[in-house]
A and B are shown apart, each in its own frame.
Chain A
Amino acid sequence: MVTDSTEVLSLQGVQAYYGESHVLHGVDLTVKSGEVVSLLGRNGAGKTSTLRAILGLVGRRSGSIRVFGQECVGQSPHQVARLGVGYCPEERGIFSSLSCEENLLLPPTLSAGGMSLAEIYAMFPNLQERKNSPGTRLSGGEQQMLAVARILRTGAKLLLLDEISEGLAPVIVQALARMIRDLKAKGYTIVMVEQNFAFAEPLADRFYVMEHGQMVMSFAAAQLSEQRAQLNEYLGL
């Protein structure tokens, strides 16, 4: 099939558990090469768990998760990452015992074609100024940029971004939005989990809405106006 070759990520009937608690109940999701897809939903709907399930960071998972055509259920997180996945966790995950530049250089190269350090510093001049500061001494905005920037170096072409706009000043949120557009123009495939619909709205090609560990809606950006009433209901806007 022709469409399969462009499918970068595909989840079918994914169930996930943390110990006894069942967090994903049959999640289906498809992302094509070069798309920006936004995962929406209220707190606790299962958005973060979906990203973590893709990487194998949940306790147990079943169903089918294919990344660049490879089945990932049963693989360890580092094996999934090596398929070319870059992950930016919600809590940013900046290492306090590493300097800013050490944080930036930490994730190993997964494939050729990642951005060079110079390109990253051109995109985020702040990080160059603070390169010798301990990672957690950076401001919230700088830490967020660092968390995203460090996965751009690795050559990962599928980026899983969890709430990157959360708790940041408007000017930084705008900078991040510019960055997403740049990355899309460069051909990256992006799955972004967002609580902040206003941030995701102008950026995403398609939207998925989650509730209670399931996908309850999915639509393309062009269908947004006709879906808005139902979307608002799900998001509680």
Chain B
Amino acid sequence: MEIFGIPSQALFGQLLIGLINGSFYAMLSLGLAVIFGLLNIINFTHGAQYMLGAFAAYLGLTHLGLSYWASLLLAPLITGATGMLIERVMLARLYKLDHLYGLLLTFGLALIIQGLFKNHFGASGMPYAVPPIFAGSFQLGFMFLPKYRAWVIVMSLLTCLLTWYVIERTKLGAYLRAATERPELVQAFGINVPRMITLTYGFGVGLAALAGVMAAPIYQVSPLMGTDIIIVVFAVVVIGGMGSILGAILTGFGLGLVEGLTKVIYPEASNTVIFLIMIIVLLFKPAGLFGSEK
């Protein structure tokens, strides 16, 4: 079977890969958007924190015999806690300064963390087995869908939707949205905004780590896994619009699919298509597709 002259197996296969990549783009850009909204810091450590999540799962398995499921819970909590420590000890001193300082600090931290891991574990990746329950694939008729990949897509969608719901539809989210606009006034109403900022950063980092654990069985666990993906994720955030929650989610999945489609139609452009889109969006809508100018 062919669609527009492309074998349907190849088309659906690449779209699936696109959707998988999009799942990670969405989860990572969501965390970045939440952090940027409240902290006004572009968290360049995000890729390293994604890598830390994957390593927490890997080390948990090899040293402590922790299952995938335990890691799915523990890795985000532990990595999130290290994020909160970073926020309290370092980031909290930068809020009154220009954006640039936060960017430089988090970029430096990313280099240090990745350097340390590379020094210790080497640059080559380490395999992480797919949990037994997800062995095999579903036969969909037009293609095979590996069970683990289906799980990643579902899990990422659920995480994104839950985060969106909490931020846009609950009281807790109302505090977050209000503090994003006017942190000082929210604090003058009696809310401990500094603590909220710490928890928000921890949450964003935890989200990156969760993506890292989910990525471990698909990509390999490697000290540089974050560097590769984070560049694309920043492009996703720029296209979607900084600070827009729904924008980050939709753009993440959408661009994953666009990337997958490009691999079928014109493979040479598949690594650059997202950046081309970024340039076009910046030319016509500098605040991003879903962003509003501040």
> Are A77 and B188 within 8 A (Cβ)?
yes
A78 to B186, CA, bound (A): 8
Partner-binding segment picked from A92-100, A187-195, A214-222: A92-100
> Quick one: given A57-B184, A89-B185, A105-B171, are A95 and B190 in contact (CB under 8 Å)?
no
Indicate whether B182 reaches chain A with its CB closer than 8 angstroms: yes
User: Is B181 touching A97 in the complex (CB atoms < 8 A)?
Assistant: yes
Query: Judging by beta carbons under 8 Å apart, are A87 and B174 in contact?
Result: no
Taking a contact as CB atoms closer than 8 A, the residue among A55, A96, A97, A102 that contacts B188 in the complex is: A55
B114 CB, min distance to chain A CBs, angstroms: 35
User: Which residues 119-175 of B sit at the A interface, judged by CB distance below 8 A?
Assistant: 171, 174-175
- In the assembled complex, the CB of B178 is this many whole angstroms from the nearest CB of chain A, namely 5
Within 8 A of B (CB), among A42-86: 55, 57, 76-78, 80-82
Contact B190 A107 (CB under 8 A): yes
User: Is residue B262 within 8 Å, beta carbon to beta carbon, of the partner chain?
Assistant: no
**Nearest-neighbor residue (CB-CB) of B189 within chain A:** A107
Interface of A is mostly: loop
A95 adjacent to B189 (CB under 8 Å): no
Scoring B residues 190 to 220 as 1 if CB is less than 8 Å from chain A, else 0, what string do you get? Answer: 1111100000000000000000000000000
Distance (Å) between the CB of B39 and the closest chain A CB?
16
A57-B184, A95-B181, A97-B180 are known contacts. Are A106 and B190 too (CB-CB below 8 A)? no
Which of A76, A106, A151 has a CB less than 8 Å from the CB of B174?
A106
Tell me, rounded to whole Å, the shortest Cβ–Cβ distance linking B243 to chain A: 10
Please tell me if A154 contacts chain B, counting CB pairs below 8 Å: yes
A108 touches B (CB below 8 Å) = yes
B187 touches A93 (CB 8 A): no
Query: Is residue B88 within 8 Å, beta carbon to beta carbon, of the partner chain?
Result: no
CB distance from A57 to the nearest CB of B (A): 6
Q: Tell me the nearest residue of chain A to B177, going by C-beta.
A: A97
Contact A95 B187 (CB under 8 A): no
Q: Are B174 and A81 in contact (CB under 8 A)?
A: no
Contact B191 A108 (CB under 8 A): yes
Bound-complex Cα distance A151 to B178 (A)? 15
A93 touches B174 (CB 8 A): no
List the B side residues contacting A173 at CB < 8 Å. Answer: none
B28-74 interface (Cβ within 8 A of A)? none
Q: Is A168 an interface residue (CB 8 A)?
A: no
User: What is the 8 Å Cβ interface bit string for chain B, positions 233-254, against chain A (1 contact, 0 not)?
Assistant: 0000000000000000000000
Q: What's the Cα separation between A80 and B192 when bound, in Å?
A: 11
Contact B193–A78 (Cβ < 8 Å) = yes
Assess A96 versus B181: contact at CB under 8 Å? Given A105-B171, A106-B174, A106-B175: yes
Q: Are A78 and B181 in contact (CB under 8 A)?
A: no
Specify which chain A residues have a CB less than 8 angstroms from the CB of B186 in the assembled complex.
106
CB distance from B198 to the nearest CB of A (A): 14
A98-B190 contact, Cβ under 8 Å, with A89-B185, A93-B182, A105-B171: no
Q: Which residues 149-166 in A have Cβ within 8 Å of B in the complex? A: 151, 154
> How near does chain A come to B77, taking the closest CB pair, in angstroms?
26
Task: Point out the residues of chain A lying under 8 angstroms from B187, CB to CB.
Answer: 76-78, 81
Chain B neighbourhood of A154, CB < 8 A = 189-190
Residue A110, interface by CB 8 Å:
yes
B171 touches A78 (CB 8 A): no
User: Would B174 and A82 count as touching, CB distance under 8 A?
Assistant: no
**In the complex, chain A residues whose CB is within 8 Å of the CB of B189:** 78, 81, 87, 106-108, 151, 154
Complex CA distance for A1 and B49, rounded to whole angstroms: 59
Complex Cα spacing A107 to B190, Å: 7
Please list 24 pairs of residues, one from A and one from B, whose beta carbons are closer than 8 Å in the complex, sorted by A's number: A55-B188, A57-B184, A76-B187, A77-B184, A77-B188, A78-B191, A78-B193, A81-B187, A81-B188, A87-B185, A87-B188, A87-B189, A89-B188, A93-B185, A95-B181, A98-B177, A105-B171, A106-B174, A106-B178, A108-B189, A108-B190, A108-B191, A110-B190, A154-B189
| Residues in A lying within 8 Å of B, measured CB to CB | 55, 57, 76-78, 80-82, 87, 89, 93, 95-98, 102, 105-108, 110, 151, 154
> What 9 A-B pairs come out closest when comparing CB atoms?
A81-B190, A107-B189, A97-B177, A93-B185, A77-B187, A95-B178, A82-B190, A77-B188, A87-B188
Known: A78-B189, A93-B185. 11 other contacts (CB 8 A): A57-B184, A78-B187, A78-B188, A78-B193, A95-B177, A95-B178, A96-B181, A106-B174, A106-B186, A108-B190, A108-B191
